[in-house]
C-alpha cells in the first residue's frame, strides 16, 4: 500500500469523521461518494491546477513586466510551489525525484520540438534553454505529480498488470518516437497497439470513500489524456505558447494531440511505477 503523507492522513481522518455521519445508501450516498471522488481528484491535481491558474491570471493581469518577465515569474512561482509541497509533506521526496526526471525528459523534448517548429513560446525569458522557458518543464512535472498522488490518494491496486520490463521498453520506444517521427516513419499506431496489448486486461481497483471501484486502466489513461488536452487548450488560450495556425488568434488544439498526450502520459505513469510499484488487489 502506498502510504499517505502526514497532511493527507490528517485531512482524511477529519473528513471521515464528518462523512461517516452521512447516509451511505441511495441517491444521497451515491452523491456523497461522487463528491468525495471529485474532491480527491482536485487534491491530486493541486500542483497542476496551481500552475494553470498562474498561467491564466498572468495572461490577463500581470503588472510586473518591467521587473520580471512573465515566463520567469512563472518559473520562480513553480519552484516555490514544488518546495512548499515537499516542506508541507504534500509530496514525498521519492515522488519528487521521479517528477524531476519527467521534468528533465519533458524539457529535452521541448527544446527539440521548438527547434523543429512544432510549437512556439512567444515571450522572452532569462531562465531558458534555447527557445524554451524553463517554467515549461513544470507543466510536465505537474502530470507526474498528479499520477504519483492519485495512486496514493485512491490506494490504487492493479489486476493483471504487465511485467515491469515490458512497460519500460514501451516507455523508451514512445520517447524515441517523439523525436524520430520527424525523420523516419511515425510508429505511434504501433505503439497504441502495443499499449492495448500490454494494458488491455489491466484493471485499476481504487477506493473513494466507503466503496471500492474498478476501471480498465486504458480508460483511465484516456481520461487523463483528455483532461491534459483540455488544460493545453487553456494554456494556448492564455498565450503561454501556441501551435502553428494559432499565431494570429486562438483556435482549439487539434484533437489529434490527444494521442500524443496519451503516449506522453504513459511515460510519466511508467516512471512513477519505479517509485510506487504496482500492487495486486491481494497485496497489502
Q: Are 75 and 133 in contact (CB under 8 A)?
A: yes
Model confidence at 215, pLDDT cuts 50, 70, 90, reads very high
How distant, in Å, are the alpha carbons of 21, 33, 66, 76, 204 from that of 41? Answer: 22, 12, 37, 26, 15
Q: What is the per-residue pLDDT across 42-84, written as a single tens digit (0 to 9) for each?
A: 988 989 999 999 999 999 999 998 899 999 999 999 999 999 9
259 CB-near residues (< 8 Å, 6+ apart)? 188, 192
Sequence spans of domains, the chain? 6-273
Nearest 5°: CA angle at 232, between 183 and 106?
Answer: 50
pLDDT for position 61? 92
Model confidence at 9, pLDDT cuts 50, 70, 90, reads low
Nearest to 170 by CA among 269, 255, 96, 98: 269
In the predicted model, is pLDDT for residue 214 greater than 60? yes
pLDDT for position 51? 94
pTM of the model as a whole: 0.87
In the predicted model, is pLDDT for residue 4 greater than 80? no
pLDDT for position 98? 81
In the predicted model, is pLDDT for residue 19 greater than 90? no
Model confidence at 26, pLDDT cuts 50, 70, 90, reads low
Which residues are bridge partners to 215 per DSSP?
204
* Residue, of 23 and 140, whose pLDDT is higher: 140
pLDDT for position 6? 64
107 CB-near residues (< 8 Å, 6+ apart)? 129, 132, 134, 136, 137, 140
pLDDT for position 25? 65
For range 243-262, the mean pLDDT = 90
Q: Mean pLDDT lowest for which of 74-78, 196-200, 217-221, 276-280?
A: 276-280
Amino acid at each position: 500500500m502506498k502510504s499517505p503523507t502526514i497532511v493527507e492522513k490528517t485531512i482524511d481522518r477529519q473528513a471521515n469523521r464528518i462523512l461517516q455521519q452521512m447516509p451511505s445508501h441511495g441517491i444521497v450516498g451515491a452523491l456523497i461518494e461522487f463528491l468525495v471522488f471529485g474532491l480527491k481528484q482536485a487534491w491530486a491535481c493541486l500542483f497542476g491546477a496551481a500552475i494553470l491558474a498562474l498561467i491564466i491570471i498572468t495572461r490577463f493581469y500581470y503588472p510586473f513586466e518591467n521587473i520580471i518577465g512573465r515566463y520567469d515569474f512563472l518559473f520562480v512561482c513553480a519552484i516555490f510551489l514544488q518546495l512548499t509541497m515537499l516542506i508541507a509533506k504534500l509530496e514525498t521526496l521519492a515522488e519528487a525525484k521521479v517528477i524531476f526526471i519527467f521534468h528533465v525528459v519533458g524539457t529535452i523534448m521541448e527544446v527539440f520540438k521548438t527547434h523543429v517548429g512544432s510549437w512556439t513560446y512567444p515571450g522572452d525569458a532569462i531562465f531558458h534553454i534555447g527557445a524554451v522557458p524553463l517554467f515549461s518543464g513544470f507543466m510536465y512535472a505537474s502530470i507526474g505529480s498528479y499520477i504519483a498522488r492519485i495512486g496514493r490518494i485512491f490506494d490504487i491496486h492493479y489486476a493483471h498488470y504487465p511485467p515491469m520490463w515490458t512497460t519500460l521498453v514501451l516507455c523508451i520506444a514512445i520517447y524515441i518516437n517523439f523525436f524520430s517521427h520527424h525523420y523516419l516513419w511515425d510508429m505511434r499506431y504501433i505503439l497504441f497497439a502495443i499499449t492495448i496489448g500490454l494494458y488491455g486486461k489491466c484493471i485499476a481497483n481504487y477506493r473513494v470513500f466507503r466503496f471500492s471501484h474498478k476501471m480498465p486502466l486504458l480508460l483511465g489513461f484516456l481520461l487523463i489524456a483528455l483532461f491534459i488536452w483540455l488544460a493545453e487548450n487553456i494554456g494556448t488560450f492564455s498565450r503561454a505558447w501556441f501551435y502553428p495556425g494559432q499565431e494570429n488568434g486562438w483556435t482549439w488544439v487539434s484533437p489529434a494531440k490527444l494521442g500524443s498526450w496519451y503516449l506522453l502520459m504513459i511515460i510519466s505513469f511508467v516512471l512513477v511505477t519505479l517509485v510506487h510499484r504496482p500492487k495486486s488487489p491481494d497485496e497489502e
